[in-house]
Structure 1
Amino acid sequence: MKVKKYYRTQREVAAVINEIVDEYWVDNLTDEELEENIIMIYKNNQRKIIKNDDFTTILKQQCGKNRLTVVANIITN
C-alpha cells in the first residue's frame, strides 16, 4: 500500500484514512503499520484533519465515527 506524505484536499486525506483503516480491519496491515501511516498523515496534514480541536466536517462525513475513533486513539497516544 502506497501512502503519500502530503495531500491537497480534505477529501483526499479522508479517502486515504478510509483505505488505511479498512486495510487494517481486513488484516492486511499490522498495528504498527496502521499507527505509522496515521501518524505520518496527521503530522503532515494537520490543518486538513483538525479544526477548532475537532475533526473537520469533511472528514466526519467521509470517514464516519468508527474510523475516526481509531484515528483519534492513535493521534492522542
Structure 2
Amino acid sequence: MKLFYKTQRELAVSLNGIVDSYWNNELNEDTLIKRVNEVYINNPSKMLKEGDFTTVLRQQCGKRRLEVIERIIKGGVEISE
C-alpha cells in the first residue's frame, strides 16, 4: 500500500480497497483504522476540501465507504491497543 498518491482517483481506489477488504473480513478493525489514518495524514488536501470530501472521492467511493472513512479521520474511532 502506498502512502502518497498522485491523484484523487488513485487515492479513491486505494481507500475503496481498504474498506472493501475490511468488509470482506480480510482486515481487522485496527488495521482498517491504521491504514485509513496513514493515508489521510499523508494526503489531507486530496481527501478533504473545506471540511468535506472532495467531489472525486464522493463520486468514486460512495456514501457508505465515506461514512466509515469519516468516522475514522474525524476521531470517532480509536485503535485499541
Give 1:10's aligned residue. Answer: 8
Structure 1 residue 39: Cα displacement: 0.1
Distance 2:19 2:45 in 1: 20
Give the CA RMSD over aligned residues: 0.4
- Cα offset for 1:40? 0.2
Query: 2:7 and 2:42 mapped to 1: Cα distance?
Result: 12
- Name the SS of the counterpart of 1:68 in structure 2: helix
Q: TM-score under structure 1 normalisation?
A: 0.96
Identity of counterpart residues, as a percentage?
A: 47
TM-score of the aligned structures, taking structure 2 as reference length: 0.91
Structure 2 unaligned runs (5+)?
Answer: 76-81
Runs of 4+ in 1 over 6 A off after TM superposition: none
* Structure number having the greater helix percentage: 1
Q: Which runs of 5+ in 1 are unaligned?
A: none
Q: List aligned pairs for 1:37-48, cutoff 5 A.
A: 37-48=35-46
How many residues are treated as equivalent by the alignment? 75
Q: Which residue of 2 aligns with 1:33?
A: 31
